[in-house]
Chains A and B, each alone.
Chain A
Amino acid sequence: MLDVANLEVVYNDVILVLRGLSLEVPDEKIVALLGSNGAGKTTTLRAISGLLGVHEGEVTKGTVTWKGSEIQSSEASNIVKSGITQVMEGRRIFAELTVDENLRTGAFTNTDKASRDDAYARAMDLFPVLKERRSSTAGYLSGGEQQMLAIGRAMMSDPELLILDEPSLGLAPLLVEQIRDIIVDINKQGVSVLLIEQNAAMALSIADYGYIMENGKIVMDGDAAKLRADEDVQEFYLGLHTDESGERRSFKDVKHYKRRKRWLS
């Protein structure tokens, strides 16, 4: 289980981005982390995966516990070795490398050849498209194929927890569905999933549990079914309700309305 507790993250020693964030990813579950642009989702991922240093960021408070040990100050490579891998926002495939070579980078920490071959075979099963394009330069793949490659690459380390950062970003609806099904497949193989999304409809349709974050904090959490049914979530994250004028209320209005409500009560 992954347990993030009271996490505080600061960039460049001054920019406080996470303000006491807590969340849990139980084994073999899919957990959704939702929030709009700039909420701090990617920062949370960086804190879990040891990549804050690259961005001059630092965990100043709180802990990230994975399988019983604290990892918030571990090196990225050791975190991958311990079983957490990620699909980064924007895919970040190695465009100059071939599809096969991209997959091999994902297996870097996996020093056992047999297990590497296994992972490779599984990736090929999961993504038949990649099989056909094994030796082509990854930069020439379509956006959807690149996302599949990014997921395939992450699976090459044979992870126990897979974290995906906005995998549906920029993809056509049909592809989003495909990616969603793949995540479900991966989870069925026993891999825990932390799914970071702005596309709440997609994420909550497959998640067991969900967290909603704003301004570096969790503002709401609960079973996915409960979140799907929640009126606020429907209105502001699922885009189901419109107000009287027929226009969706902006996010700013919501915050204003919420603040006033709290003020009055």
Chain B
Amino acid sequence: MADSSSSSPLAGLIKSPSLMALAAIVAAAAVFLVLQAANDPYTFLQALMKSFGLGAVYALIALGFVLIFKATQVVNFAQGALAMSGALFVSFMVSDGHIPFTTIRNPLVDMSPSWLGWFLSVLVALAVAAILGLIIERLTIRPMVGEPLFSVAVLTLGLEIFLRVFNNDAVKIEFRSLEVPWGVDGFNIGEAFVSWSYIAAMITAAVAFVAVFFFYRSRMGIAMRAVAYDQEAAMAQGINVGRVFAIAWAAGAVLAAIGGIFATQPPVAQTGAVQVETQLIAFRTLPAVILGGLDSVQGALIGGLIIGFAEIMAGQYASGQTDILGAGYPLIVPYVVMIIGLLIRPYGLFGTPEIRRV
């Protein structure tokens, strides 16, 4: 099974005519984009910034998937509901002004400057999201250790549905605002409009990836990578696998929550508020996760950026063809790119071919 990936992707590309054709399409698209950029640089720049904004959101959510998958080998289908729960916690904190699940007033909302109060409130909401991740891991994942991974994945799907019921109940028909300080404002570079939320997403993603980079070199992070590589050997070193699982889930839930906040912002949504669609962000991220490789942190980043780029560019430059492609075509683009990527590298761009498991 590993044979197909052992030869270099380039060699495979040259051998297979269908992959040659795909390479030609990609090259043609690149030439097309370069021409467009030369012709109308501001439109291109605007689309480019937007694609980075979207790519950053995808990368954040993908990172959550990857952290959980690497440590536990579980594909967490509840990531979407966790994203929405996280966004709801923020809305409880800043819009309703009380700590989630309590009637205690959130003192941070009265702070000045208000953006600082907002930011601190978000941190508290993320802490609540982490606790939710810990509870889920403890109650539903830990007892399933050693059970077939497929069953555990299905269990997370059940969790997704379970959480959705609560989430949708909290949203009902009204949107819940997140009171984001930058709102839907932005700034101009020449004629190109750039939303502040793109910049916020990019900075957040950068911080998250750098944090994971350093975490993976810490005592607990090394333990997590050891568990990911060989669970039994990690146990033999005295590594507490349960604790590693818990940390992975807490981190995954926090990243989902951050992704959920950005899922209310441009370019994902324009309302700045939690709504039923917010939880779909995780499913929209799946192509990025799979393209990058389920067990690769850098894959999450690159996969997110590629998918974001493809989706936005297709939306920008193929909009004249909607009668052929259908109006919703930009949402299909991620899957098309994913399939192309998988044809070249079946385990994702940075994924490990064989998944080890004791």
Q: Which residues on A are within 8 Å of B, measured CB to CB?
A: 49-51, 53-56, 76-77, 79-81, 85-86, 88, 92-97, 101, 104-106, 108-109, 153-154, 157
Q: A77-B238, A92-B236, A108-B219 provided; 5 other pairs, C-beta below 8 A?
A: A54-B231, A54-B358, A94-B233, A101-B225, A108-B239
**Please, which residues of chain B bring their CB within 8 A of the CB of A80?**
236-238
**B237 x A97 contact (CB < 8 A):** no
Our pick among B219, B223, B225, B238 for the contact of A76 (Cβ within 8 Å) is B238
- In the complex, what distance in Å separates the CA atom of A108 from the CA atom of B225? 13
**B226 x A94 contact (CB < 8 A):** yes
- In the complex, what distance in Å separates the CA atom of A98 from the CA atom of B219? 13
Mark interface residues in B233-248 (1 if CB within 8 Å of A CB, else 0).
1111111100000000
B interface secondary structure, majority: helix
**B229 x A51 contact (CB < 8 A):** no
Q: Which positions 181-237 of chain B face chain A at CB distance < 8 Å?
A: 217, 219, 222-223, 225-226, 229-237
**Please, which residues of chain B bring their CB within 8 A of the CB of A108?**
219, 223, 237-240
Residue on A with the closest CB to B233?
A: A92
| Sample (7) of A-B pairs whose CB atoms are under 8 Å apart | A54-B231, A80-B236, A92-B233, A94-B229, A101-B225, A104-B219, A153-B237
Our pick among A53, A85, A94, A104 for the contact of B230 (Cβ within 8 Å) is A94
Taking the nearest CB of chain A, how far is it from the CB of B346, in angstroms? 20
**Please, which residues of chain A bring their CB within 8 A of the CB of B222?**
97, 101, 104-105
**Please, which residues of chain B bring their CB within 8 A of the CB of A55?**
358
Taking the nearest CB of chain B, how far is it from the CB of A192, in angstroms? 18
- In the complex, what distance in Å separates the CA atom of A198 from the CA atom of B143? 37
**B226 x A97 contact (CB < 8 A):** yes
Our pick among A76, A97, A153 for the contact of B229 (Cβ within 8 Å) is A97
**Please, which residues of chain A bring their CB within 8 A of the CB of B229?**
94-97
**A51 x B239 contact (CB < 8 A):** no
Decide: A81 near B238, CB < 8 A? Known: A94-B226, A97-B222: yes
- In the complex, what distance in Å separates the CA atom of A88 from the CA atom of B226? 15
**Please, which residues of chain B bring their CB within 8 A of the CB of A51?**
232, 235-236
Q: Which positions 229-282 of chain B face chain A at CB distance < 8 Å?
A: 229-240
**B358 x A77 contact (CB < 8 A):** no
Residue on A with the closest CB to B218?
A: A104
Residue on A with the closest CB to B220?
A: A108
Our pick among A54, A81, A154, A157 for the contact of B235 (Cβ within 8 Å) is A54
- In the complex, what distance in Å separates the CA atom of A96 from the CA atom of B233? 13
Our pick among A93, A101, A105 for the contact of B239 (Cβ within 8 Å) is A105
**Please, which residues of chain B bring their CB within 8 A of the CB of A77?**
235, 238-240
- In the complex, what distance in Å separates the CA atom of A101 from the CA atom of B221? 10
Residue on B with the closest CB to A79?
A: B238
**B238 x A54 contact (CB < 8 A):** no
**A49 x B233 contact (CB < 8 A):** no
Taking the nearest CB of chain B, how far is it from the CB of A13, in angstroms? 14
Closest CB pairs A-B (n = 10): A80-B238, A109-B238, A92-B233, A76-B235, A105-B226, A77-B240, A77-B238, A94-B229, A105-B237, A108-B239
Residue on B with the closest CB to A50?
A: B235
Residue on B with the closest CB to A116?
A: B219
- In the complex, what distance in Å separates the CA atom of A148 from the CA atom of B144? 35
Interface-central residue, B219, B231, B233, by most chain A CB under 10 Å: B233
**Please, which residues of chain B bring their CB within 8 A of the CB of A106?**
237
Taking the nearest CB of chain A, how far is it from the CB of B34, in angstroms? 38
Interface-central residue, A76, A88, A93, by most chain B CB under 10 Å: A76
- In the complex, what distance in Å separates the CA atom of A159 from the CA atom of B226? 20
- In the complex, what distance in Å separates the CA atom of A91 from the CA atom of B222? 18
**A76 x B236 contact (CB < 8 A):** yes
Taking the nearest CB of chain B, how far is it from the CB of A83, in angstroms? 10
- In the complex, what distance in Å separates the CA atom of A105 from the CA atom of B230? 12
- In the complex, what distance in Å separates the CA atom of A92 from the CA atom of B219? 19
**Please, which residues of chain A bring their CB within 8 A of the CB of B230?**
92, 94
- In the complex, what distance in Å separates the CA atom of A229 from the CA atom of B230? 41
Decide: A88 near B236, CB < 8 A? Known: A97-B225, A101-B222: yes
Interface-central residue, B230, B234, B235, by most chain A CB under 10 Å: B235
**B232 x A105 contact (CB < 8 A):** no
- In the complex, what distance in Å separates the CA atom of A33 from the CA atom of B228? 31
Residue on B with the closest CB to A84?
A: B238
